[in-house]
Structure 1
Amino acid sequence: MTFNDLNLSPAILKALSKENYTAPTPIQEQSIPAVLAGRDLLGCAQTGTGKTAAFSLPIIQLLSEQKTIPNTGRRIRSLILTPTRELAIQIADNIKAYSQYTDIRCSAIVGGVSQKVQERALNQGADIIIATPGRLIDLINQKRIDLQHVQILVLDEADRMLDMGFIHDVKRIIAKMPSKRQTLFFSATMPPEISKMIKSILVNPVKVEITPVSSTVDRIEQSIYLLENGKKQALLNDLLQDKTIASALVFTRTKRGADRVTRDLTKAGITAQAIHGNKSQNDRQHALRNFKNGATRVLVATDIAARGIDVDELSHVFNFNLPEIPETYVHRIGRTGRAGNSGIAISFCEVEELSNLKDIEKLIGKNIREIKEHPYPMRNKPVAKVAVATNAKPKASKPANARPAASQSTYAKPAAAKSDGSKAKPARKPKSEWFAKRS
């Protein structure tokens, strides 16, 4: 199938050709016709499956086909909500590319940058707004954004918005829009809170499920190093001495950890920059641009900040810390192996992370290949305990405050008489009886 088979307009097809899009991905094949038909959509797909084009292309076409009302100006007719600034900016860039031969305008509304710049963009008019919930709520409260004319709502990465605590903000935003609208809902996982929300905002949706979250892309080569505590940085420095690793995305658990890893890589002569929530939006965008154009070889990121990082030529993903949520591992390694390319995912694991590794392998349904030949092996790897079966019944445990039984008295009973008639040596008496007369 080609994009010509999806009934897209010549202007959109021309833009796709310029952007070197050849054939639609499975989620695009199934989603675009449904959205063009005006149906609500429930998409379950992980990163790298082509979700952005799946909802952007039909939205551009539907809005382009509408006749503009004279003297009304540009109204916001479509809202796309995303959890992170990077993802919002990435989607805005893609929509600008897809709509370059149409009259559609879009604008990104995100925190971390000057609000005045965004106000000017809104004053000039925008058909499509791509926004993070926090900044959008601020502008709504300031009465600078009107959502009364929104016809198409897109919730992208809904599970991540739940993790980040945005669900209540999302509900407040939805309440500001017309109840009669088309809603497109995308999420990699479906926790109970998300399922409940789906029932309340979607009307008879078309369901599209591509690449379940428990499966990983076959093109990605996965391996793991079991390490002695405190040796992750040394191993990472050693592995990145390999010049064939053109670009690498390193995931850490914390923002402080990302800064520390970046510092140590720089000391080792490896160009690296960190991207996380404590960085300003300008710093994050600068680091992302340097990574995409090759000026920075290694980008160190936390999970939240990594949403929206889309680099087709990314060769390696390193899990400096194993995630506690198994699904996060799938999202992380999905950053490589995109656009038909192969990829390599390398993970580091210390003793306290072995339980995380077990959960990940259970989710993906296979064991990750362990690389044993390295200078920092895990020495005290715990061995699974094997229960020994016996026929003896276990003794019932007694409460800690139980009194001793009569047979376990502090003082032993007097010994019985011996068989030859002689008296046995009496048991030791308490001091109070030392001078008592014997009867």
Structure 2
Amino acid sequence: MHAIKDLLRGLVAVAALVGAVAVPMTREAPARAEPVFDCGWSRRIGADTLNVALPDTFANYWMTAVPNLPAEGVTLRGTFPHGRYISFTSYRGSQTLDGLNDLNIAPDPGSVDPFLPGADRTATQRSYTVRVMPGPRPERPAPNTLYADAGLAVVLYRVYRPDAGLDPLGGAGLPEFTLNGADGPRTMPECATPPQVSDPTAVQLAGGIDLPPALPGPDHRVWSKTSGNGVFANPDNTYLTSRVAPRAGQVAVIRAKLPRTPATYQGQPVMAPAPLRYWSLCTNEVSSTRVSACVADDGITTDAADEFTVVVSDPADRPANATADCGVAWLPTTNGATLLLMRNMLPAPDFAGAIQHAPQDDPAATMGPYYPRTELTSVGEFAAIGCARSR
């Protein structure tokens, strides 16, 4: 509880600074740059710590914030973790400014980037160095460089789907944080990182908060394409959103073809090429932007045609066959209408079924079988299917 309170205090400080820094501060007489957080980084942010801004339960987040970012910037020295994906993203307020993902981070000499297609995920030499510099991203950016707001550099570090048995940082720790300046570099003390094992399947909205009922929104059969910008979005993701509001005794059933993604969770030795880096489907509260629960690509069962079935319902209305044993994933509804959020990350250029490649006004036109189909049905009707259809 104390850790969460400390995190909230730090984030409140960041929010206050965001409000105060409407435009970059002048460089004529800059105040001394000082990171908001003691070791440069916040405590871990996630669905089980600070559940806002539609987080993915299979991802973990850490924030840094530096007012008056010096012209010399910040240096981050880290180790590529064992996981599916990492990135650094800068923001002005909650709007995305710049992004630097694992594909664009060159390893240090003698090291390996384990996220490249075909790379050795077991390599022991896996260090990198990234710089955070003030100003807009130039037409020809410097290598391994993220550009941030000079007045208040807000950066999120993301780690998706750490390997089984590892902590949320994928066994790598947080990057060492060095603040550069005219008076020389200053390296912050190492951040304390509790050695807990990452267990995203344990995250669910417990109790929640009382909210007025939300409107169901558009037809539940229609999914809209969005970048998510404005809620600390990840620029490597594009999303489909829809809303469902099943009545008592009803369930929402979602079916689609699951894109192929690289297998990493069991510590596979090679990052295999795949049409998509990561896929997930989450249920969220519309008003609070809290996530209820998610299912990820490697935790969902498909049939012979690579199609999945996800049932969304109130826990009291969960059908007996909405279980992994029956090949059916289940997600809980939230207060009011439930926001469904489907993520596609870093698609291959030739993967036509990706959300990123779909037209804004009609994503179904190009997504084909990867476009989700949603129907409302009674608990009894779905239960009557049994397990045969879902296996």
TM-score, L = length of structure 2: 0.33
Which one has the bigger strand percentage? Answer: 2
Which one has the bigger helix percentage? Answer: 1
